[in-house]
Amino acid sequence: MRQGMWSEKYPDLGTNPLPTEPYISEEHFALERERVFRRSWLQVGRVDEIPDAGDYFVRDIAICNASVLIIRGSDGVVRGFHNVCSHRSNRLVADERGSCGGALFCRLHNWAYSDTGELVSVPNEENFFGLDRRDHGLTPVDTDIWEGFIFVHLAPDPAETLRNYLGGFADRLDGCPFHEMKLSQVYRVEERANWKIVLDAQNEVYHLPYQHRWTLGQSFAKDDTGNCYFKEIILYDYHSFWSCDYQSFQKLTPLKIALFYGGDTAGAPRVPNMIGDLDHYLLFPNGILSLFKVGTWMGCITYMLWPIAVDRTIWEIRMHFSAAATRRERLQQEFFKCFIRDTLQEDTLAHESVHAGIASGVRSHLILQDDELPIRHFHKVLGDYAGSGRCA
């Protein structure tokens, strides 16, 4: 008997409905800005995006009115800085990514900074009053790396190290061969929906056989009833994990079998602690990491939800694949990218529809079933942060 299975495992979360107000309230959005996004470690990219000295990328974090420059210095160290010139606060780097060749120049007055953040040149320097270049380098942002993923923290003095913040999330994934999976595709979608609605939808499988009946079908159904269930749920202090399996009982076309399910699994890569065919991690506050295996290759999809306003969100999807050993695997990967794109387009329409429904004010609460427990956990953690100012 499944009823209450996960709620019995985690009774402290209760079974009450969730209020809808936090999805549409400007007041809640302001609290999330100050008490969540400004006080959490945020994943902004990977080290393989900046392999060489002077390589950089810029991450705009709109909810915090922040632009962060991530750069690999000539000493090989990856650092983060506010993308702001120390002279008149001009935006220093206008490009999304590039390589600076050892120095960064402000376009307004040509102040120059090294790739390690020091101020190295000021035009007409003698006309300033007691200017000491050593005091006016780029403003640093706390930056750390875990398994090749780059994180930043916008608070001046984070109360918790990245490793402590990740906790059981990192313990479970330490040693995962992320370095073998190269970035293959990036999608960015601006949605007319609150960021939490987007995150909720990626944190349950109840909707899969209905919303995605033409794309996923019964790929993740537990039995021939067509319903989808989790294989496992594990909750951490801030983060959460769920897992499910692909199912073979459904009727598939020969092409779909060859492109998605086909392949000898004898040489499949080993992933530490992987439980199902799809392992899904929610990285609080705004990230998701999904691991999957297809035949002898593996992949990782990361979602980042970047709030722009209470009713607008940038949904960034990044697909990382291990190297294809055969033409068949290469074709599988290209098919997979298209398959996921079509599925996520269905999600985007649903996110905006849900937001419109909540904004109408017809319902004051949302009802959750047992397999939507990860959503309940996320909102509990979010409430602890936004309500009490808990910071990491």
> Mean pLDDT across the stretch 236-246?
89
Provide CB contacts within 8 A for 271, sequence distance 6+: 176, 177, 279, 291, 293, 298
Q: In this structure, are residues 350 and 226 in contact, taking their beta carbons and an 8 Å threshold?
A: no
Q: How far is CA 68 from CA 136, 155, 353, 367, 384, in A?
A: 17, 13, 32, 38, 27
Percent of the chain whose predicted confidence (pLDDT) is above 90? 69
On whether the CB atoms of residues 258 and 291 are closer than 8 A, the answer is: no
Measured distance between the N- and C-terminal CA atoms of the chain, rounded to whole angstroms: 39
Residue 240 has phi, psi (to 5 degrees) of -150, 165
Nearest to 348 by CA among 184, 205, 175, 193: 193
Q: How confident is the model at residue 258 (pLDDT cuts 50, 70, 90)?
A: low
Residue 367 has pLDDT above 50, yes or no: yes
Place of tokens 């209020």: 19
Residue 108 pLDDT > 80: yes
Average pLDDT over every residue of 28-47? 96
Question: Which range among 96-110, 220-234, 282-296 has the greatest average pLDDT?
Answer: 96-110
Q: Give the per-residue pLDDT at 252.
A: 53
Report whether 153 contacts 41 (CB < 8 A).
yes
- What's the token pair of residue 197? 């609605």
Global confidence as pTM: 0.91
Task: Outline where DSSP puts E strands in the chain.
Answer: 18-19, 42-46, 55-61, 66-72, 78-82, 97-99, 103-105, 112-114, 119-121, 140-146, 149-153, 181-191, 232-235, 240-244, 278-283, 287-294, 297-309, 312-322, 365-366
What is the token pair recorded at 181? 């999976």
In sequence order, which residues have a C-beta less than 8 Å from that of residue 187 and are 6 or more positions away?
315, 316, 317, 341, 344
Distance from C-alpha of 68 to C-alpha of 78, rounded to nearest angstrom: 13
CA–CA gap between residue 378 and residue 392 (Å, rounded): 16
DSSP structural state of residue 374 = H
Compute the radius of gyration of the chain from its Cα atoms. 23
User: What pLDDT sits at residue 260?
Assistant: 58
Backbone angles phi, psi at 157, to 5 degrees: -140, 85
- Band (pLDDT 50/70/90 cuts) for residue 272 is low
**Phi-psi group of 4: left, alpha or beta (phi > 0 → left; psi -120 to 50 → alpha; rest → beta):** left
Could you tell me if 121 and 111 are in contact, meaning their C-beta atoms sit under 8 angstroms apart?
Answer: yes
Most distant CA atoms of the chain, gap in Å: 80
Q: Say how far apart CA 294 and CA 203 lie, in whole Å.
A: 22
- Decide: helix, strand or coil at residue 18: strand
- Mean pLDDT rounded to a whole number for the chain: 88
- DSSP run (H or E) holding 172: helix 168-173
Confidence of residue 392 (pLDDT cuts 50, 70, 90): very low
Q: Domains along the chain?
A: 5-37+167-388 (3.90.380.10), 42-157 (2.102.10.10)
Report, as an integer, the average pLDDT of 279-303.
90
Q: How confident is the model at residue 1 (pLDDT cuts 50, 70, 90)?
A: very low
Instruction: Choose between 214 and 206: higher pLDDT.
Output: 206
254 pLDDT band, cuts 50/70/90, is low
The answer to whether the beta carbons of residues 249 and 224 sit under 8 Å apart is yes
96 class by beta-carbon count within 10 Å (0-12 exposed, 13-18 middle, 19+ buried): exposed
